Amino acid sequence: MTPLHEKIADLFYPLTDFYASHEVPPPTIEQLDGESMPMPYRDLLVHEQDMTSKLEAYWGTTLKVKVLEKHEENSQLTRQVVLVTEQGLATEFGAIRINLDQFEPPARAEILACDRPLGALLKAYDISYVCRPNAYFSFVCDEIASRAFELGESHLLYGRHNLLLNDDEALLAEVVEILPPLNSEAASK
């Protein structure tokens, strides 16, 4: 793997695993400084909060998980998902790898049910955590993101790579979060 491909894989992990399993190369991404992210993407991505809270506030509704694919192995759940509104509107596409052994059995059971976003479950179970976004990026919508968002492949998409850590700095989850095309005046706000 070339250094460029390794960098892309790091920024896009765990989503890269799903691309690899379908023998599809990940898109060419451009790493961005958070300040250079255009609005409204900057408000939705450049922060140290969970995306569930930000997106629910932006769209004014509760979000649900639509699982596209999932794998459980070695106390880890990795899932490729779309977060959708109650009306079925896609608000985020991505992948998350959750360390199940970091959660008590009731929370773990709900995580495995794959109905609610992890951010909502962290709040519901009063689990203390911090978000550590470590990269922001853009890319032209490819075949996989196009299917997830149900749109054409010519759109420019924005996203981030984020780590969720507990109070002891143990990794709860690693996630790639990609937003659909937005305008600054979302009709559902």
**pLDDT tens-digit map of 76-125:** 999 999 999 999 999 999 999 999 999 999 999 999 999 999 999 999 99
- In angstroms, rounded to a whole number, what is the distance separating the alpha carbons of residues 146 and 153? 6
What is residue 10's predicted lDDT score, i.e. its pLDDT?
74
Share of the chain above pLDDT 90, in %: 81
What is residue 11's predicted lDDT score, i.e. its pLDDT?
80
Model pLDDT for residues 37-61, shown as the tens digit of each residue: 999 999 999 999 999 999 999 999 9
**Residue 85 vs residue 152, higher pLDDT:** 85
pLDDT at 183 exceeding the cut of 80: no
Place of tokens 């470590």: 134
Closest CA to 60 of 93, 85, 88, 89: 85
pLDDT at 186 exceeding the cut of 80: no
Sheet holding 29-32, edge to edge: 29-32, 130-140, 156-165, 171-179, 90-99, 76-85, 63-73
Q: Which fold has domain 3-179?
A: Chorismate lyase (3.40.1410)
What is residue 9's predicted lDDT score, i.e. its pLDDT?
52
Could you count the other beta carbons within 10 Å of the beta carbon of residue 77? 19
- In angstroms, rounded to a whole number, what is the distance separating the alpha carbons of residues 51 and 47? 9
